A = this chain, B = another copy of it.
Amino acid sequence: MKKDWKAKLHEVIYEADTPAGKLFDIVLMILIFASILLVMLESVNEFAESHGKLLNIAEWIITVLFTLEYFARIISIRKPKEYIFSFYGIIDFLSTIPKYLSVFIVGSQSLVALRALRLLRVFRVLKLARYIGASNNLMKALKASKTKIGVFIMFILILCTILGSVMYLVESGEESGFTSIPRSIYWAIVTLTTVGYGDIAPHTALGQLIASIVMILGYGIIAVPTGIVTAEFATMDKTKIDLNTQSCQHCAAEGHKANADYCFHCGESLHPEETD
């Protein structure tokens, strides 16, 4: 069985069943971590000033490597458009382009727009999500309880709007930070979710009474999302399906069953070389 170099490249890049494929994945993971670390270090002022040059070089090296990966992915797939406009294709493009753009807009390095653009590189972290195969079950449970969770969040928001408005009325004369209804709603969310920053906190006796009610409410209704997801998990656990790490050479679809021979999305064979 002879494989052409494109098929080989596809196997290395898109699958993790061969030694080369596994090595590629590990190298890619290290690169992603290094890349995220660079973006973080760049944002620490003291470090950026003392090691600016080093950071710049390292960033260029990583950018070039990700550029190579991007083109390799496009070349090795039979229908490049499917990849380019897929979620990961867009992430790959958006997180690689900023460094190149920075060459053209050197004069205005401090612009907020550019800063935002450069932060796009942090989205490379989403490439890690490719490796969370095991989370399929977890995501399924969340998806199954989507409607219930939506209703629950709507309920929370209605509750916080009412509670925030009441607190705005009660505490408005005080120096406690309830200066407008949106801020008061922000406080209600901070309190109901039991986060409790303390940047806004009631000073009056009545305000503290209402706050106590909000807290006990929040402490009690946390049971609701937990109950929803736990119930969903209980039913979910019974129907596990084994998935492999292969992806289709035609359409880049992932999540094939362990014993699948054809892509569930486009119907092409998953082992084209064997049928030659």
A interface residue numbers (CB < 8 A to B): 36, 39-40, 43-45, 112, 115-116, 119, 122-123, 125-126, 128-129, 132, 134-135, 137-138, 141-142, 147-149, 151-156, 158, 161-162, 165-166, 168-169, 172, 179-183, 185-186, 189-199, 201, 205, 208-209, 211-212, 215-216, 218-220, 222-234, 237
Contacts and interface: CB of A to CB of B under 8 A. Distances in A.
Contact of A126 (B158, B212, B218): B158
A201 B187 CA distance: 12
A169 B116 contact: yes
Nearest to A178: B43
Given A147-B134, A197-B197, A180 B43 contact: yes
Nearest to A161: B125
Contact of A223 (B126, B165, B186, B230): B230
B195 A218 contact: yes
A126 B162 contact: yes
A222 B225 CA distance: 8
B222 A219 contact: yes
B45 A180 contact: yes
B216 A179 contact: no
12 contacts: A115-B172, A119-B169, A138-B151, A138-B228, A142-B224, A186-B212, A193-B218, A193-B219, A195-B215, A219-B225, A222-B225, A223-B228
A98 B39 CA distance: 41
B162 A220 contact: no
Contact of A189 (B40, B45, B128, B216): B216
Contacts of A197: 196-198, 201
Nearest to A207: B186
A227 B168 CA distance: 34
Given A116-B169, A226-B222, A153 B216 contact: yes
Nearest to A165: B122
B132 A154 contact: yes
Contact of A123 (B40, B44, B162, B209): B162
A226 to B, nearest CB: 4
- Which of A142, A153, A208 neighbours the largest number of chain B CB atoms within 10 Å of its CB? A208
Contacts of A162: 122-123, 125-126
